[in-house]
Amino acid sequence: MKNTRSSIYQLFAQQNLSSDERKSILAMDCLGCEPMTYGEMEISLHALGSALDTVCEGEEVITHCGLTTPDAVLSFWAANAVGKKINYVFPEFIAMDPVGYVESTGTKTLVILDIFYPKVAEALRRIKLERVVISSLADYAKPTIDPALPDNLKAMLSRSLYAEIRDNTPDNVGYELMSWGEFVGYGAGKTLTEAELSRVASDDVAGIFYTGGSTGRPKGIQLTNEGMRIMHGIYGLEKDFFDLQPGDRMFTHAPMPHATSAVHTVIMLMLHGCTLAMQPIFDTRRLLDDVRLLRPNHILASTSSHLPVTMREDLNAGELSYVKRVFSGAEKLFEKDARKIDSAYQKAGVQHHLNNGCGMSEFGTMTLIGGENSLNWMLPIPTVEHRLLDEEGRVIVGDGVGRHQTRTPARMLGYMNNPTGTATFFDVGASSGEGGTSFNNIHNDENSNIKR
């Protein structure tokens, strides 16, 4: 039987951008380095994909430990293009149980930001890796980005730490150490064939995100190519709602291991030809300052980043009129906070009401706050399936109040996963009040899926 599966990269390669647009529309605009057009990104993807094929031959899993930087974004697309899986993980989660992580994932290659390497150096001596690739934050963020940066961080950003790491790493450490530039250099100038770009991981998994998410414990959230294609289709169906246009700027105020950031505001938006406006060094207290620098059309940040904006006395009426939508994710959001955040952005001129991600790290849903029906202060935007269940777990057909259940295109891998805690967190009672996500007077369609 013919394998008809395809990677999410193939959708990326089929973007509806003209040749002139690929030369002019920015794929990434990072404050600390030169911007990159979609045409330039394609060249970089061929080089990185070739390097992955050459250096990591026979490996199916590549681990990336970093922030939202160009190398993190390129790693996803290049790995996906050549049929490998990218794992995003925080350094603390590797250090927590390095043996468990390697045994669970089978990873042999770790790409890590230089400022994170000291956090895992000792743990790496207890596991067997083939290579560790050091990417430098100084290549993407400069000390001048933010005047409020502490002096020690400014010093770190003034130079690459790779030489220091290399000089202090014993020869018998057990893995090959190389810089990001050296690694990519193995594929410099190479172009992958169509056949080489048509490979898909054996289990169809495109990315695994070891995010602490709702429970604070690393749970390998596996997202398949098929799952992301479903999401892409829904974004297409909801195109008028999201108002995505080629060249729109999205600022993601969160790191790549947060699955919310990687999928909803990096992968999906790049499929629509949007520009990633990036500030790798961010402070939750300075979201408004970064927005003023980057001037994005869409913003994603956690609740803890949005709330300080509501207390800024220098937030002027109408000054954010260039912003179409604001997304909040990664944390449970109470109605009083949602209304406070939404009100502040509306007064500042944001064109649409706040969108909160309820269960976004598990790719469950997104919800619109401030809809026309005041009873439904959060209206579900379907990603896959939403249902109402009664006390005995039976589907409620038609109007009713019950337990909201979300089915998603994600699977969870072991490695310190807490599926019970996650299920409890997102299995929210559908009732009014301030106890998390609320739905009232829900309507189901003939298939018992909640309608928006």
| pLDDT 10s digits, 129-174 | 999 999 999 898 877 766 777 777 777 778 889 999 999 999 888 9
Residues 257, 308, single domain; the answer is yes
- The answer to whether position 405 is within a domain reads no
Closest CA relative to residue 405, chosen from 385, 376, 431: 385
Q: What pLDDT is recorded for position 70? A: 93
- The answer to whether position 417 is within a domain reads no
- The answer to whether position 14 is within a domain reads no
Residues 238, 357, single domain; the answer is yes
Domain of 315?
A: 211-384
Residues 220, 350, single domain; the answer is yes
Q: For residue 48, give Cα distances in angstroms to 65, 150, 248, 264.
A: 17, 34, 26, 23
Residue 387 contacts residue 449 (beta carbons within 8 Å):
yes
Domain limit, last residue, from 350, 384, 418: 384
Residues 237, 195, single domain; the answer is no
The pLDDT tens digits for 211-225 are: 765 555 666 777 778
Q: Hey, what are 59's tokens?
A: 């490996």
- What average pLDDT does the segment 301-327 reach? 92
CATH of the domain at 86: 3.40.50.980
Quickly state the pLDDT bin for 248 (edges 50, 70, 90).
Answer: very high
Q: What pLDDT is recorded for position 151? A: 79
What are phi and psi for residue 382, nearest 5 degrees?
Answer: -65, 130
Residues 196, 334, single domain; the answer is no
In terms of phi and psi (left: phi > 0; alpha: psi -120 to 50; beta: otherwise), the region of 95 is alpha
Q: What pLDDT is recorded for position 400? A: 65
pLDDT at 276 over 90: yes
Task: Provide the pairing of β-strand 85-89 with 61-65.
Answer: parallel
Q: Hey, what are 11's tokens?
A: 């959708």
Domain limit, last residue, from 384, 399, 433: 384
Residues 72, 190, single domain; the answer is yes
Residues 87, 107, single domain; the answer is yes
* Mean pLDDT for all residues in the chain: 78
- The answer to whether position 404 is within a domain reads no
- What average pLDDT does the segment 437-449 reach? 39
Q: State how many domains the chain has.
A: 2
Q: Which helix (H) or strand (E) holds 300?
A: strand 298-302
pLDDT at 35 over 80: yes
Q: What pLDDT is recorded for position 124? A: 92
98-102, 302-306, 420-424, range with the lowest pLDDT: 420-424
CATH of the domain at 247: 3.40.50.12780
- What average pLDDT does the segment 76-80 reach? 94
- What average pLDDT does the segment 378-393 reach? 59
Q: What pLDDT is recorded for position 19? A: 92
* Selected residue with higher pLDDT from 41 and 244: 41
- The answer to whether position 189 is within a domain reads yes
- The answer to whether position 285 is within a domain reads yes
Quickly state the pLDDT bin for 404 (edges 50, 70, 90).
Answer: low
- The answer to whether position 225 is within a domain reads yes
pTM value? 0.82
CA distance 120 to 305: 27
Residues 286, 175, single domain; the answer is no
Q: Hey, what are 188's tokens?
A: 């410099």
Q: What pLDDT is recorded for position 2? A: 36
Domain limit, last residue, from 357, 384, 411: 384
Residues 177, 264, single domain; the answer is no
- The answer to whether position 3 is within a domain reads no
